[in-house]
Structure 1
């Protein structure tokens, strides 16, 4: 069973989803990875790797 304890876990899953053609799920997982990444530069790099509009509903 896969665990999601670190940003890299979400990022690995995002890449797997992108490779399998699930771009929406990949973007959502990448956003979660970026949110859990303490370094703002690295978080921006993650978001840039998975371009697209955020699907989150804030508020």
Structure 2
């Protein structure tokens, strides 16, 4: 089984789109949030999150 490495914002954004297409909006939103966090440009981060609207689903301590 291949192992996938996610280390760039684009990897997470692509995975978020795949999960959205697969009908998994919660996972898509979480992946989009990670993509946005890894994006240095605030406008690009906002655009990524705009593709997956909703409130943050993270449970932070």
Same fold (TM > 0.5):
yes
Q: Which runs of 4+ in 1 moved over 3 A?
A: none
Q: Which runs of 5+ in 2 are unaligned?
A: none
Structure index of larger Rg: 2
Q: What is the number of residues matched between the two proteins?
A: 59
1:4-58 residue CA offsets vs partner (Å, 9 max, x unmatched): 0100000010000000000000000000000000000000000001101111123
Q: Which runs of 5+ in 1 are unaligned?
A: none
Taking structure 2 as the reference length, the TM-score comes to: 0.91
Taking structure 1 as the reference length, the TM-score comes to: 0.94
CA RMSD of aligned residues (A): 0.8
